[in-house]
Amino acid sequence: MAAITSTAAPAGDNLLARALREAFYAGLIALGLFFLLVGIKTDLNIRNQLILVPRWGLLATVVALVAAGRFVTVAFIHPAVERRKAAAATAPVVQREPGFVRRNLAAIAIVLLAVFPPAVMYVSGLQGSLKWIDNFGIQILIYVMLAWGLNIVVGLAGLLDLGYVAFYAVGAYSYALLGTHFGLSFWILLPAAGIMAAFWGIILGFPVLRLRGDYLAIVTLAFGEIIRLVLINWREVTRGSAGISGIPKVDFFGWFTFNVSDPNYIAKVFDLPVSGVYYKVFLYYLILLLCLLTAYVTIRLRRMPVGRAWEALREDEIACRSLGINTTTTKLTAFAIGAMFAGFAGSFFAARQGFVSPESFIFLESAIILAIVVLGGMGSLIGIAIAAALMIGGTEILRELTFLKQVFGPDFTPELYRMLLFGMAMVIVMIWKPRGFVGSREPTAFLHERKAISASFTKEGHG
Amino acid sequence: MAGSLLQVEGVETYYGNIRALNGVSVSVEEGEIVALIGANGAGKSTLMMTICGSPRARTGRIVFAGTDITRLPTHEIARLRIAQSPEGRRIFPRMTVMENLQMGASLDKLKYYAEDAEKVFSLFPRLKERINQRGGTLSGGEQQMLSIGRALMARPKLLLLDEPSLGLAPLIVRQIFDAIRELNRTERLTVFLVEQNAFGALKLANRGYVMVNGRVTMDGTGRELLASPEVRAAYLEGGRH
């Protein structure tokens, strides 16, 4: 936004006066609104009585921020937006050839992601890189994979699934239980967890075959809750809310492991200093590969009959049937394949944490994954990856913003405002880009030439 | 009439407890164009959809090319090469013209896809101009052409058309009717169409049926029905398009 404000030159006295006036009113409204909400806090004193604690300083900060925000909006942002609109209206429409970065976006992104861990280790040292690789890299990539998996169900097949996290849980618990009880290797259990989750995807798919839209959403939501409640209450197997700990780590195909006590611990094999970073780096590349697998499968499937049937199903179920498409199997494959990727991600999650409990599989997780898919632009892999990086990376960044304590006082913990910012970001994106970051859909059928179709052609009134 | 391509015998269809079709019998011979005309709510579209298995007939029998299709699921009926351009066209709005056509060709796993697409384009040159445009952004007439084109991609033995003239300009209606006549003449394609535009439909058709309140009340050649005073009074007077 700073870039926009700096270009605002012809701001007359009139405009400034109006901006000041509006800022004053906005401040007044904020004062009225936040007087009780922020300015006064109820608390218990030492004798257990309810007392009021005034927080005038915080109230003043909030009101000042609102007023300043209004001033900047009216004085600088609005005129700049108007000028831009005017410029866009007069400028001729030119079809620009997409640049080098645009055309090779996927390849560049993959290369950047591949060199991320060594780069971070070089910049911030072995120990310092842990946070970036684990909290940022792995965390974001898990959500990218989950969102890409859900994208098959929601973005391509158009089946609104609010209980996606259930399959994630199935994958995680499959690995946790089979790994701790039978000592099976991750490499056997990864496909097993995927198959298990796909199986549950079909189990969910059958009863909801006839449902669409809101009704489907409610049933899938309930399904997610059922799985979570089973995990909490089936104590003999899942150990309830206590969760399962001591889940074995992933090894490198038996060549070396990441347990310090093992004879073939990686540091001993390669004569390196002992550190936890190796495991994180390994996990980072593992989840990166799993993500790429998801993307590859999705791209391939879109060009195959089943993928085209998914998209047609999203558009019009009745037309699909009249074209000879079996909608039952089409829906079930969408549920099963989407669930399978959640199962992969789940077993990876269990291996990374070393601990699973029902806490990790609450409805909020489903909501976040769905939000990522919607924000990214349903069906677009790149858009979804960007959305995941912003949403998950953004909330992690909040922990780093310690300077905010100087503004809002020492009690201020920015990560508590995560959901507020999350919601605000969603509202803003949906106003500016109602079809998500990447709203255009890449066509898969061509007679002769290949041409992308921009989002501006897609705003049809569907009748 | 044994040996008809499509034989509908005494079909009754219900929506809940409401009877929409009341013992309807209709037959379509190979190579014919048959029109079904009637007022709003007479049950024309219901008959068309009952042939496709959704909703299903409660009583009666529907036989297509010797196969009883009364109890078959919709997608299996479609696999017997009954293609449909349904009411409201139902093209895929976010998919391009090309992708829509491709969806129509999924029965043969795209074997004749390019060849058939060219055929559709020679029938409706307008579609070729719009080849990479999204279905939802086409005009009503183009959407109707796409809907018919998509049905043709399935290489149908029987083409069902539900109100192909609905909401279209007279010029476009003539283009579409001409295309249907052309298909019937050159490829001997059998067409069963439902129309409110009784004049145009009966002129196009070899034979016609008149439907009132879920029953077939009259049938005859297109010319006979056009000349009949009842049909003229009910559907044609003042409504000459």
Residue A394 lies in a domain: no
State whether B92 and A312 contact (CB < 8 Å): yes
Q: What local confidence, expressed as pLDDT, does residue A95 receive? A: 60
Omega before residue A434 within 30° of 0, cis: no
Q: Give the A:B interface size as CB pairs under 8 Å.
A: 108
Q: Are B195 and B183 in contact (CB under 8 A)?
A: no
Residue whose entry in the numeric block shows the structure tokens 């078959």: B72
Q: What local confidence, expressed as pLDDT, does residue A448 receive? A: 53
Q: Which residues of B, range 54-73, sit inside 8 Å of A by Cβ?
A: 54, 73
Residue A454: pLDDT over 50: no
A9 touches chain B (CB under 8 A): no
pLDDT digits (tens, 9 = 90+) for B193-227: 998 888 889 989 999 999 998 999 989 998 888 88
Tell whether A25 and A132 lie within a shared domain: no
Residue B154: pLDDT over 60: yes
Q: Which amino acid is at A25?
A: Y
Residue A232 lies in a domain: yes
Last residue of a domain, one of A322, A350, A381: A381
State whether A324 and B136 contact (CB < 8 Å): no
Residue whose entry in the numeric block shows the structure tokens 């299996």: B76
B106 touches chain A (CB under 8 A): yes
Tell whether A158 and A285 lie within a shared domain: yes
Q: Are A59 and A35 in contact (CB under 8 A)?
A: yes
Tell whether A132 and A215 lie within a shared domain: yes
Last residue of a domain, one of A346, A381, A416: A381
Residue A455 lies in a domain: no
pLDDT digits (tens, 9 = 90+) for B119-136: 899 999 989 999 889 999
Question: Which positions ≥6 away from A407 have C-beta within 8 Å?
Answer: A61
Tell whether A30 and A118 lie within a shared domain: no
Region A235-241: what's the mean pLDDT?
85
Residue A216 lies in a domain: yes
Looking at every residue in chain A, the average pLDDT score rounds to 83
Tell whether A217 and A357 lie within a shared domain: yes
The C-alpha atoms of residue B49 and residue B88 are separated, in whole angstroms, by 13
Record the pTM.
0.81
How far is A379 from chain B, CA to nearest CA, in Å? 12
Tell me which chain A residues have a C-beta less than 8 angstroms from the C-beta of B84. Answer: 322
Tell whether A49 and A156 lie within a shared domain: no
Tell whether A233 and A359 lie within a shared domain: yes
Q: What is the separation, in whole angstroms, between the first and last Cα of chain B?
A: 34
Tell whether A249 and A283 lie within a shared domain: yes
Token pair, residue A17, equals 């006066």
User: How many independent structural domains does chain A possess?
Assistant: 2
Sign of the torsion angle spanned by Cα atoms A195, A198, A203, A206 = negative
A446 vs A309, more confident: A309
Residue A412 lies in a domain: no
Which ipTM value was assigned to this complex?
0.86
pLDDT digits (tens, 9 = 90+) for A271-282: 777 777 888 888
Tell whether A22 and A114 lie within a shared domain: no
Token pair, residue A52, equals 């009021």
Tell whether A214 and A244 lie within a shared domain: yes
| Enclosing domain of residue A67 | 2-89
Tell me which chain A residues have a C-beta less than 8 angstroms from the C-beta of B161. Answer: none
Token pair, residue B212, equals 């009132």
Residue A362 lies in a domain: yes
Residue whose entry in the numeric block shows the structure tokens 């404000």: A5
Region A40-60: what's the mean pLDDT?
84
Residue A455: pLDDT over 70: no
To the question of domain B1-81+190-241 being in CATH 3.40.190.10, the answer is: no
pLDDT digits (tens, 9 = 90+) for B91-128: 999 899 998 998 888 887 777 888 888 889 999 998 99
Looking at every residue in chain B, the average pLDDT score rounds to 89
Sign of the torsion angle spanned by Cα atoms A401, A402, A405, A411 = positive
Which pLDDT band, with edges at 50, 70 and 90, does B46 fall under?
very high
Residue A423 lies in a domain: no
Tell whether A187 and A69 lie within a shared domain: no
State whether A324 and B154 contact (CB < 8 Å): yes
HEC readout, chain A: CHHHHHCCCCCCHHHHHHHHHHHHHHHHHHHHHHHHHHHEEEEECCCCCEEEEECHHHHHHHHHHHHHHHHHHHHHHHHHHHHHHHHHHHCCCCCCCCCHHHHCHHHHHHHHHHHHHHHHHHHHHHHHHHHHHHHHHHHHHHHHHHHHHHHHHHHHCCCCCCCCHHHHHHHHHHHHHHHHHHCCCHHHHHHHHHHHHHHHHHHHHCCCCCCCHHHHHHHHHHHHHHHHHHHHHCHHHHCHHHCEECCCCCCECCCEECCCCCCCEHHHHHCCCCCCHHHHHHHHHHHHHHHHHHHHHHHHHHCCHHHHHHHHHHHCHHHHHHCCCCHHHHHHHHHHHHHHHHHHHHHHHHHHHCEECHHHHCHHHHHHHHHHHHHHCCCCHHHHHHHHHHHHHHHHHHHHCCCHHHHHCCCCCHHHHHHHHHHHHHHHHHHHCCCCCCCCCCCCCCCCCCCCCCHHHCCCCCC
Region A360-374: what's the mean pLDDT?
91
Give the residue from chain B lying closest to A328, CA to CA.
Answer: B75
How far is A341 from chain B, CA to nearest CA, in Å? 26
Residue A101 lies in a domain: no
Token pair, residue A200, equals 């549950």
How far is A386 from chain B, CA to nearest CA, in Å? 23
Last residue of a domain, one of A334, A360, A381: A381
Judged by average pLDDT, the poorest of A46-55, A327-336, B8-17, B45-54 is A46-55
Judged by average pLDDT, the poorest of A2-16, A161-175, B45-59 is A2-16
Give the residue from chain A lying closest to B92, CA to CA.
Answer: A315
